Chains A and B, each alone.
Chain A
Amino acid sequence: MTATRYTYYPGCSGKGVGRAYEESLLTVFEHLGAGLDELDDWNCCGATAWPSVDEDQANALAARNLALTEQRTPGAGPVDLVAACTGCYRALVRAEHVLGERGPAAQKIGGGLASIGLDYEGRARARHPLDILVNEIGLDAISAAVVRPLTGLKVASYYGCLLVRPFATFDDQWNPTSMDRLVAAIGAEPVDWPLKTRCCGGSCYCGGPVIGVMPEATMQLSYALLREATKRGAEMIVTICPLCQFNMEGFQDRMSKRFNHPLDVPVAFISQLVGIALGIDEKALGIKRLLRWRLPERDPIAAGVGSAAEGGGDARA
């Protein structure tokens, strides 16, 4: 169990549609002794919208946050910036890459940063909370902290696109397993399914069925995910992206009608599920912000409270 504190980048949906994600992340990290401190005066990373206007400006927007992180943590060693939303995560990693290449684009961005008195030294690295949970805090530490193992709960992990594409920094690009392993570590049963990284259609760009470009298309894509996950026995889907969660959760009524397939699948953030297993209060995890939430009625004593290491093998390890 680490006792470090991380600089935290919420992203624009952290206070909006992904509020429960932020709430549960902050609480869970604090509980595990790895607190998250919001980066002061962070700005929008540019998401997937700004590259449609200007690639270099987009990278500069992201870079400002990296530079601010370095400024906040002076010193010589690397400093992590934990970005919750995968869209932001990708934008930050992309900026790191471009700056790291030290080409003409990097020079331009450097110039932009310099014009406001900032400088990127190369110390700040974007990290994903899943990466921190699984690889820094560690599955053993998390297992040890579990007080309510979610024995028998079948959970499908949905990673989405941008976590592993185009940069697969801490997990396999084609078949990531970190969330599945985390699910197993809290006592639940990870469900293996082929659509772990298939796009849900909900990227900021498409906006999902609500304000989306192609409502029919995005509905089909999100529906396919729900259909496959439930077909393979999942009772719940967990994810790490606010837009994916919104897309999959928010329109199940419409989908039920459209596809003649009654759906009522809880879609939660992995941090919320981990929080439940750690015994944290539902309110603190933003459970009430979910449209539907359901844990199967199981007697924790009969199921065997205590060691969370049992219960559920690896998905495809």
Chain B
Amino acid sequence: MLEPDGNGGLTSQPISTNGSPKIGVYVCHCGLNIAGKVDVKAVVEFASTLPNVAVARDYKFMCSDPGQELIEKDLREGLINRVVVASCSPLMHEATFRRATAVGGQSPFYFQMASIREQVSWVVADGEDATDKAKALVAGAVRRVALHEYLEPRRADVHADVMIVGGGIAGIHAALTMAEAGKHVFLVERESTIGGHMAKFDKTFPTLDCAACILTPKMSQVRSHPNITLWTYSDVVGVEGYTGDFTVRVRHRPRYVKEELCTGCLECIEKCIHKQGKFADEWNEGLSKRKPIYIPFPQATPAVVDVDPEACIWFKTGKCPRTCIEACERDAFDFEQTETFDEVKVGAIVLATGFKAFDAARMPEYGYGLYPNVYTSLEIERLLNAAGPTGGEVVLRDGSHPKVVGIIHCVGSRDAKHNLWCSKVCCMYSLKLAHMVKERTGAEVYNFYIDMRTPGKGYEEFYDKILKEGVHMVRGRVAGVTDEAASPEEEGRLVIRAEDTLIGSVRRIPVDLVILAVGIEPQPDAQDVRRTFNISTGVEGFFTERHPKLAPVSTFTDGVFLAGACQGPKDIPETVAQAGAAAAEALAMVDRGFVMLEANTAFIDEAACSGCKTCVGLCPFSAIGFDEERQKAAVNEVVCKGCGVCVGACPSGAAQQHLFTDAQIFAEIEGVLAYV
């Protein structure tokens, strides 16, 4: 008898095999989805003629309560002991009907589904052909289920720890949520500090909150939280295992500074042999220079300096007085540091690896890299940021202030030559930049857009505010930025030519500064990452969610969740919401402590086993042992995940799989062919 176990799952008590098969066939109408094409009554009539079929019924919606009750009642009354439902697909309702079978008193695995919607009514054009095919599939299912055996649902334990890959706002929020729930979290971040892109912004839309002000408290919380192990300057190099039981190998790159000793006093940077910065500062988008020893920004977390071995004289020539070591009162330097590895076991993984901004150099018509005063939005964020290269001044390359600024929307987005999608955030951040640039410099600002996309809470009102401030809106996609002067006022300036589609005229607008609103793209190593974690990406390269509407944070790999822009372009509120959702779903797994697995484990028929050991080495989970004495292989059903590799490889057919034995498969085929 199967009983609820008080944890939301079902545990089965051992019962004897249920005797000769008495099969109940239930054909669903699915409203008109099936009944509109397939002659359901004919299928029921046909089913009742099949061997071992005791009961054949049809019903409008088998998945509904009354529908399921039909099955449960027949089982309880002993009319049947096997169930076939001809309806939608296993992905939709296999779980539903297995549960009904269990509630009716039999093992849930005495159930087989015939998919006559996805495989018949939705794809076969002619009604007669469809009915024929439905009958054939039902015949196959009936023959198969007669050979089903008693199996118990299996449980696997879920490891209590969780790993979050990526320390931007998504990773940070997910980590804090889970840590507050009492779970231990590993937060792995590739850069030397957490914070991601958000830490680079000056202000965020639509509230114009200072990004650092709202982010840094969370960053500090992460640093000091007892349940979070923060690994920065680290990346994941390998993942093995299975939902609930992942083994992750993490590499820690050397910073040449002992993290636990460094207090972030920055004396070493001051005392570095380089008097001034000489190397492009990546944090400031290359707009300023740093020394070989540096910290990305004042609130970097952890507050530990980094040494760049490509730039540091000691690493390049071995000849340096290393004044940095002298300056350090805590003796925190270790120039002999090498990369180290950690291997940890976790039950769930959340990927929050973020995005990459579109490289504006791919559109030479906009002059990025050609004309000095063409900037990307990220570069302007750094200029606007008080901790940035110009202390918050928006200036041209020669240090002067712009009088007229042009902001070009949709750079790299909505474009068949680059990225087809809309990057969602650029309209809003372009409006924000318009406001901030105007406020800081008093310049006239022109925004060139195709459509103004303001879908969030307070977003349209923000647009209204920007309009009120007198920012000029030109609805027309810019074809190019040029320094060709066609009139005296254009001399020495950059000219933007666009059709102002709303007034119906082509306009030439001379500007001093151009800002390119670059779009959002997947990270360049997204394909490598997805392979490491065994998930998929869509055509455009973002990680694929299980269902775009109803399962936006889980993936098709159980136990791996997604949060933030790595799943698709989105703004900060959505990212935080999604991170919370991913944390909740991961928590659900971890808190519950176990996952239910399919009963389809492999087993070895000893009589047929020749002792060739082919299966032993092939098993990806090392679940097959070998008895040297008896020269027979044996599967450890606790560890076996039912992947089927051994079954396929076994030359003598000794390796078989529950739920997919040869007999069952051939019976299904025979059933289909016998009718057809």
Interface set of A (CB-CB < 8 Å, partner B): 174-175, 194-195, 224, 228
A194 touches B482 (CB 8 A): yes
A224 touches B486 (CB 8 A): yes
Interface set of B (CB-CB < 8 Å, partner A): 364-365, 482-484, 486
Which residue on chain B has the smallest CB distance to residue A198? B484
Specify which chain B residues have a CB less than 8 angstroms from the CB of A228 in the assembled complex: 484
Please report the C-alpha to C-alpha distance between residue A21 and residue B428 in the assembled complex, in whole angstroms.
54
Closest CB in chain B relative to A102 CB, distance in Å: 24
Please report the C-alpha to C-alpha distance between residue A166 and residue B486 in the assembled complex, in whole angstroms.
26
Please report the C-alpha to C-alpha distance between residue A18 and residue B486 in the assembled complex, in whole angstroms.
29
Please report the C-alpha to C-alpha distance between residue A195 and residue B483 in the assembled complex, in whole angstroms.
10
A195 touches B484 (CB 8 A): yes
Which residue on chain B has the smallest CB distance to residue A225? B484
8 extra interchain contacts, Cβ-Cβ under 8 A, other than A174-B364, A195-B484?
A174-B365, A175-B364, A194-B482, A194-B483, A194-B484, A224-B484, A224-B486, A228-B484
Please report the C-alpha to C-alpha distance between residue A165 and residue B129 in the assembled complex, in whole angstroms.
52
Specify which chain A residues have a CB less than 8 angstroms from the CB of B483 in the assembled complex: 194
Please report the C-alpha to C-alpha distance between residue A274 and residue B594 in the assembled complex, in whole angstroms.
80
Q: List 10 A-B contacts (CB under 8 A).
A: A174-B364, A174-B365, A175-B364, A194-B482, A194-B483, A194-B484, A195-B484, A224-B484, A224-B486, A228-B484
Please report the C-alpha to C-alpha distance between residue A175 and residue B480 in the assembled complex, in whole angstroms.
13
Please report the C-alpha to C-alpha distance between residue A172 and residue B138 in the assembled complex, in whole angstroms.
61
Specify which chain A residues have a CB less than 8 angstroms from the CB of B364 in the assembled complex: 174-175
Specify which chain B residues have a CB less than 8 angstroms from the CB of A175 in the assembled complex: 364
Please report the C-alpha to C-alpha distance between residue A263 and residue B176 in the assembled complex, in whole angstroms.
71
Please report the C-alpha to C-alpha distance between residue A179 and residue B484 in the assembled complex, in whole angstroms.
21
Please report the C-alpha to C-alpha distance between residue A127 and residue B619 in the assembled complex, in whole angstroms.
59
Which residue on chain A has the smallest CB distance to residue B482? A194
Closest CB in chain A relative to B496 CB, distance in Å: 14
Please report the C-alpha to C-alpha distance between residue A195 and residue B480 in the assembled complex, in whole angstroms.
12
Closest CB in chain B relative to A260 CB, distance in Å: 12
Which residue on chain B has the smallest CB distance to residue A175? B364
Which residue on chain A has the smallest CB distance to residue B483? A194
Specify which chain B residues have a CB less than 8 angstroms from the CB of A195 in the assembled complex: 484
Please report the C-alpha to C-alpha distance between residue A175 and residue B367 in the assembled complex, in whole angstroms.
12
Specify which chain B residues have a CB less than 8 angstroms from the CB of A174 in the assembled complex: 364-365
Please report the C-alpha to C-alpha distance between residue A175 and residue B482 in the assembled complex, in whole angstroms.
13
Please report the C-alpha to C-alpha distance between residue A195 and residue B495 in the assembled complex, in whole angstroms.
13
Please report the C-alpha to C-alpha distance between residue A224 and residue B484 in the assembled complex, in whole angstroms.
9
Closest CB in chain B relative to A128 CB, distance in Å: 22
Please report the C-alpha to C-alpha distance between residue A180 and residue B658 in the assembled complex, in whole angstroms.
72
Closest CB in chain B relative to A5 CB, distance in Å: 38
Please report the C-alpha to C-alpha distance between residue A194 and residue B482 in the assembled complex, in whole angstroms.
7
Specify which chain A residues have a CB less than 8 angstroms from the CB of B482 in the assembled complex: 194
Closest CB in chain A relative to B87 CB, distance in Å: 44
Closest CB in chain A relative to B66 CB, distance in Å: 57
Which residue on chain B has the smallest CB distance to residue A231? B485
Which residue on chain B has the smallest CB distance to residue A195? B484
Q: 3 tightest A-B contacts by CB?
A: A174-B364, A194-B484, A194-B482
Which residue on chain A has the smallest CB distance to residue B364? A174
Please report the C-alpha to C-alpha distance between residue A175 and residue B486 in the assembled complex, in whole angstroms.
21
Please report the C-alpha to C-alpha distance between residue A200 and residue B483 in the assembled complex, in whole angstroms.
18
Closest CB in chain B relative to A88 CB, distance in Å: 28
Please report the C-alpha to C-alpha distance between residue A151 and residue B467 in the assembled complex, in whole angstroms.
56
Please report the C-alpha to C-alpha distance between residue A117 and residue B34 in the assembled complex, in whole angstroms.
59
Specify which chain B residues have a CB less than 8 angstroms from the CB of A194 in the assembled complex: 482-484
Which residue on chain A has the smallest CB distance to residue B486? A224
Closest CB in chain A relative to B490 CB, distance in Å: 12
